[in-house]
Amino acid sequence: MRLLTFFAKRFVAGETAEEAVKAVKKLNGIGMSTSLDILGENVTNQEMAIKTADNYISLLQTIKDHALDSHVSIKLTQMGLDISDDFCYDNVSRILEKADSLNIFVRVDMEGSPYTERTLQLVYRWHEKFPKMGTVIQAALYRSEKDVEELNKRKIRVRLCKGAYKEPSSVAFPKKEDVNANYVKLVDMLMKDGDFPGIATHDGVMIRAALDAAEKYGRTKEFFEFQMLFGVNRAAQRELAEQGYGMRVYTPFGTHWLPYNLRRLRERKENVIFILKHFFKD
């Protein structure tokens, strides 16, 4: 338990909003923006889901009050997706209404593949009413090329990641090299037609591919950004920010850090390797 707590302090910005605000101000001070995430997922109790949305509404006001350069990221299973799509839609709409009133962007995170289609259908509905929001696409999934094409068509912002969930070979590329190849393909699509793509990667090869695609399509620095995880590859974060590229740090906080991190580590051995690889880097 002590070891897990030690590791968590590197990759989680604390347990309270006050601690998260301090972390965000520090990152803002060195030229980086953030996306705040209140840890938690798979809520099946309506009262708890409503309370979580209320916490996000409070967080949005905190961002405004402290003049933070930050978005928020939400997981739909926190918001009642396992209860019903309609309940989740109404619950998240409260967050989006508050964010819209404060001019703060909201990112709907992507979870395991059983939720992908339902998540996207809800995102399409929300985006018609609240255009200052976007979602996440995982390059590991076979379906992602068609999803990026549709999201580009609808002018919905995409954060592109490789994907951290353990998925069956029936829906996802089983080989790392195929995931990487698909990531490069999707980067190209987003740089060509995407609305302010977020390139979420710590992989230098993928960063280079994104820069090449941006140059290919004449997309300048102010029309895309890189995104990385809090506490991971901090030297690369600083380097990209110093070069004038947008760098957004995904910044989780909250009391549910233990079950969240244990679940991620159990799901894929690659997650364990990833954490160990970056723990001892600056």
Per residue, the 3-state secondary structure of 76-116, as one string, reads HHHCCCCCCHHHHHHHHHHHHHHHHHHCCCEEECCCCHHHH
Angstrom CA distances, 10 to 6, 61, 87, 176, 202, stand at: 7, 26, 35, 26, 16
Q: Is 69 labeled as catalytic in the residue annotation?
A: no
Q: Whose CA is closest to 107, among 19, 7, 4, 225?
A: 225
HSE-CB of 220 using CA atoms within 13 angstroms: 1
Contacts of 263 (CB under 8 A, 6+ apart): 41
Identify the active-site residue in 37, 107, 109, 219.
Answer: 109
Q: Which residues contact 58 (CB under 8 A, 6 or more apart)?
A: 17
Q: How many CB atoms lie within 10 A of CB 23?
A: 19
Catalytic status, residue 268: no
Amino acid at 199: I
134, 109 contact by CB (below 8 A): no
Catalytic residue among 37, 107, 157, 159: 159
> Which sequence positions are flagged as catalytic?
109, 159
